[in-house]
A and B are shown apart, each in its own frame.
Chain A
Amino acid sequence: MSLIRLEHLTKIFDGKNKVEALNDVSLEIEEGDIYGIIGYSGAGKSTLVRMINALEVPTSGKVFVEDQCLGDLSDKELRTTRKKIGMIFQQFNLLNSKTIYNNVAIPLKLNGVGKADIDKRVDELLTFVGLADRKNAYPDQLSGGQKQRVGIARALANNPSILLCDEATSALDPKTTESILDLLKEINEKLNVTIIVITHEMNVIRHICNKVAVMDYGKVVENGSVIDVFTNPQTKIAREFVGNLIHDEVPAPLVPGIRAMTENYKILRIKMKNTEHTEPLLWELNTKFEVKTNLLYCTISIIEGIVIGIMLVLFAGTDDEIRKCEEYILKCGEQYEEVEL
């Protein structure tokens, strides 16, 4: 049973120009997931995530949270549901007129929690995000990363089961981004909070997500486990996003030299993720077959603890020998594809 179920969501913004922000989007998010939704600006991902806590209402389609259809709830019931769904934002959205303590205390006050319990809970939360010593400071005295930590503490105040992150790291530098992502991962593991992450950076997806949906022009064009999408992207846009992170093209300066070769050759992109095959593949190919290999480019990424290697190898030799190499690569449990220059 899914924790969040989105069924055939469509959103049309009326106005001078009718905009179809979402076009028949369906997704299922399981309890414990860190689900990434990636796309360029205007792909509809922010609209989509806002439907999970009903900040946006779909033009058609249904949103289920814990098997409860949000469209069926009264205003009062909706507010109760929202209290179980935390949200953090790109621009943090903290109250600049209030101290860190009071910012984190707001959702507790809205919930009618007593003063002593608020004190205790705020201390707990600020300790968890590592800002216990800043509770009397104001937001404009904090760095971007610290502000987002306050945002996270505030979002966690009422012990939500779901945390929505709307471009939560897009305003932060790479190092701070990493520390915030580590904190989100910790929240997912220790507090058992299901997290939905909206981003345009594949790095964020690689760092913490276990599942990913790729959005383009209001549609989910590809979704699945992060490893599958990373190693075998099906759509052009998914390949673009993966390519931003894992370069897998022949380096441009090498191209003229390769084109000038007189020998018969073929370039293969070999994807290695079979960890059981421990023999050195290139050495084997060189010794078993009549080919000369030339390694053009190689990259290794670790995704969800799995090592993924991508090699661009030039094989010089007869077509027959190269075909034997291809067969051998498959036999070893690895994948390859031919690269056209």
Chain B
Amino acid sequence: MAQQLEAFLGIPLEKVIKSAGETLYMVGWSLIIGAVIGFVLAVFLWMTRKDGLKRNDILYTILNAIINIIRSTPFIILMVCVMPFTKAIVGTRIGTKAALVPLVIYIAPYFSRLIENALLGVDEGIIEAAKSMGATTFQIVIKFVFPEAFASMILGITTGTIGLIGATAMAGYIGGGGVGNLALTYGYQTFNTNLMVFTVVILIVLVWIVQAIGNGLARKRRVHS
């Protein structure tokens, strides 16, 4: 069975497994780090906006501008631009670990927008009710806004993670490896259609699983009957 598959793909199976591992590594870590940074940025954006709990026009404008600039830069260009920074942090410009830096920089602003939207979706009335109960700003955020926004935040992070999987395919350019890179270098560039189709199927399954997990987590908090 394994031999037949290898014959079908035209490359050793370990190579496929290694690539899958690289993709999971890159997606996993940049998801965790990116989500944490994105979350903090989102809370700042939400708090400092015009009708926010701690309005601060200067901070909001700066944050908003940085996020917009990064989000409008294509990932492939971003990857090259941040190379000196990558070297300073990781010690090298290439490899799977080095790819994490541009991935996080790419995905964190995206996450922050998605999470900000989830926070903005919380009814102003909830915040007013919280204030009327004598809640502090911290309590309003932790005990009222987060629980209400949780399901939408999960769905936002799910959407962002799928974008992240797409971005990891490009990490091959700086030696990040991964399934997307396999499809590109061994599949597309050597006219190995079988391998290309197979790797695309792996990516489809991965995206499918991520979406299912996200939907499941969100539904648990949203539907009660």
Contact with B along A45-77 (1 / 0, CB 8 A): 000000001010000000000000000000000
Interface size on B, residues (CB 8 A): 22
Is B148's CB under 8 angstroms from A97's CB?
yes
B221 cross-chain contacts in A, Cβ below 8 A: 97
Known: A79-B134, A87-B132, A89-B129. A109 touches B148 (CB 8 A): no
Q: Does chain B have a CB within 8 A of A40?
A: no
> Would you give the shortest CB distance from A222 to chain B, in whole angstroms?
28
Q: Considering the chains assembled together, what is the distance between the CA atoms of A141 and B147 in angstroms?
A: 18
Interface size on A, residues (CB 8 A): 28
Q: Does chain B have a CB within 8 A of A292?
A: no
A93 cross-chain contacts in B, Cβ below 8 A: 123, 125-126, 128-129
Q: Select one of A53, A80, A138 contacting B132, CB under 8 A.
A: A53
Q: Select one of B136, B144, B148, B150 contacting A79, CB under 8 A.
A: B136
Q: Considering the chains assembled together, what is the distance between the CA atoms of A110 and B133 in angstroms?
A: 8
Q: Does chain B have a CB within 8 A of A338?
A: no
Is A85's CB under 8 angstroms from B147's CB?
no
Q: Considering the chains assembled together, what is the distance between the CA atoms of A140 and B131 in angstroms?
A: 23
> Would you give the shortest CB distance from B195 to chain A, in whole angstroms?
46
Q: Considering the chains assembled together, what is the distance between the CA atoms of A86 and B134 in angstroms?
A: 10
Is B133's CB under 8 angstroms from A107's CB?
yes
Contact with A along B96-139 (1 / 0, CB 8 A): 00000000000000000000000000010110110111111001
Is B135's CB under 8 angstroms from A110's CB?
yes
Is B147's CB under 8 angstroms from A95's CB?
yes
Is B147's CB under 8 angstroms from A83's CB?
no
B3 cross-chain contacts in A, Cβ below 8 A: none
Q: Which of A86, A97, A109 gathers most chain B CB within 10 Å?
A: A97
A53 cross-chain contacts in B, Cβ below 8 A: 132
Q: Which of B131, B134, B135, B225 gathers most chain A CB within 10 Å?
A: B134
What are the 8 A-B residue pairs with the smallest beta carbon separation, nearest first? A138-B224, A82-B134, A79-B134, A93-B129, A93-B125, A87-B132, A83-B134, A97-B147
